[in-house]
A = this chain, B = another copy of it.
Amino acid sequence: MKKKQVEQDIINAAVKIFVAKGKDGARMQEIADSAGVNKMLLHYYFKDKDTLFLEVVKNINADLYGSVIEESMNTLTFQEFLSVFIDRHFNYLNERKDSFQFLLWEISRKQVDLHEIISGSNNPYGKNPFEILSDRLADAIAKEEIREVDTTEFILDLFSLDRFLFIGLPVIRGIAPMDDAELASAIERRKKEVFRLLWNDIKIN
């Protein structure tokens, strides 16, 4: 079912404003202005602010299921796989850092019911990244490509190291301003460092 142009314009504007201001800080008028439509139309198409907010969260969530893991990565050795995963994961998180922070905030304020979001979304990739990584790890251990690792702890290590830079970025930038070029080079350094640290930890010899 294809959405009308106006409807889509409103959703796009709503995503932008809600992510920038949060649910409580966002104003219906500002969303209407940003979408270039009459404020009344927001209510015509989406009833009220709560309904529009839910629509926004669903849209953002759907985008977060775009996986960093592709079929083509199946043939890689685990060492190669890990390197490619980290590279793609950093890029993926960098492009969605604001969405992640927004969701994290609204989830912890209980403005978002995770179960409703998750059950309602058809993850087009079937398994989630956690499951795929678990399988790949178990496989590499069986093939003796890596030592026996605790899967949960390893994935927590990996996610921690990948995500922190983006989470702390607003603070870092508030203290020591950093332009996009500097951020890009910091990201590249982190990719190398995270791979080095984790691979050294799990490689066999």
Q: Which residues of A contact B (CB under 8 A)?
A: 20-25, 101, 104-105, 107-109, 114-115, 118, 150, 153, 156-157, 159-161, 163-165, 167-168, 170-171, 174-175, 189-190, 193-194, 197, 200-201
Give min CB distance, A161 to chain B, whole Å: 5
Residue of B nearest to A21 (CB): B109
Task: Determine whether the beta carbon of B170 is less than 8 Å from that of A107.
Answer: yes
Q: How far is the CA of A121 from the CA of B18 in the complex (A)?
A: 32
Give min CB distance, A188 to chain B, whole Å: 12
Q: Which of B22, B114, B197 contacts A24 (CB 8 A)?
A: B22
Task: Determine whether the beta carbon of A107 is less than 8 Å from that of B156.
Answer: no
Residue of B nearest to A175 (CB): B114
A22-B105, A22-B109 known; A157 and B193 CB under 8 Å? Answer: yes
Q: Which of B161, B171, B175, B189 contacts A161 (CB 8 A)?
A: B161
Q: What are 8 sample pairs from A and B whose C-beta atoms fall under 8 A apart?
A: A22-B25, A22-B105, A25-B109, A104-B171, A107-B170, A114-B174, A160-B161, A163-B168
